[in-house]
Structure 1
């Protein structure tokens, strides 16, 4: 849709009707939140504003897929033509946010490289990843819980602080406008979610704000008999999933 609108920016005083068989795409444009493909969503909105300034009226309609739909048949034929061996290549387009994030995670794991500025506690925790306590911690979590915890511990999460670093987000700032959206800010600082942190904070009176404790890490003051506080870890994971900012699928 963004590519199509970009081809129409020179029009003036037209009624433009954009048809799509992708219902999810139409709903995303109607109510954009944190879906994958935010770069395309932002681009679509910018182009729509530009077209409207030139007196154009724009409608986006969802067209259910059916075999007798001539427009969809024509679109499929054009798509097949565009993928022929001798077809002229188009300029590359940005990857979806989820795709870029997964590739970055894979590359970081392969090179044993953790992102910068994710907190000294988190770096110390994951430097000991092969350790007995860390293995036991992940073994006691479900796949979904382990996925979210790994994002929080490495900082490679769908938070603007990291997304900006890998050129997927336009800014590293939190939506609150008060600070960078880091893991620490996400878990402990954003005021909008203060009431939602009750379960996390009830797990301790002496380690509040200690990211290492809430993510299953060992602090220098812990003795040899230390084990991760699994209830605190699970409370952190539940909080992260409930806020909907991390990819837990």
Structure 2
């Protein structure tokens, strides 16, 4: 648990001797609060203790530079509720003729009050302590802890991009830019259709309820990307250049669309000539153009 300790000087009538008081309050779990919010809460608590005094010079001493700067120039930092509370208390105190000063001291500076506050904080910290009242959690702290605990994954969800993962086992990276950077808009559009499977082919159009059937116009099979690129007899005459790119990878959709197949090693690079041949083939057929 995160606990706060403050050592304000109480302000008794002038004929009494000054007394040094310490206090500690459980603010919240470390997953919800941080030293910055604890310092703001402690300062607000200290001012609240002396809110009834008149004609005093009150100095708030803090070793948290962020807290001191926030009071001086509040913007949109965390802990706005504590900042608002501080400003309300300061206005009340100033109406009673008090002068309030906020002083930042370096952690390396030898200061009796700071040392006492540290000792009280260590002594007061206990496991399983319960906050005395509910206070707003610090959004930045909660988000940072959640991000640090999240396990990064380099894998796409199983139900996302089945065709794209079949075409390219590698995640988008330098090779993707290499494929698209030197293409015209039309060529890039065609390649994107081929690689994602979201193309103007009946296999996809039927799946999204745009076409009445998923069958190819040749009548031989479903119009899938593989059927369109390698098997449809309607486009045999356009496929000559495509087949001349390789003798060993014919029918390998990853090879022709610049993707990495599971059998490729770490030194794999896309065959740009095969990719360009696939793009030229698709453009020549006119099958992927809007109608």
**What TM-score, normalized to structure 2?**
0.43
**Which structure has the larger Rg?**
2
More helix per residue: 1 or 2? 1
**What TM-score, normalized to structure 1?**
0.50
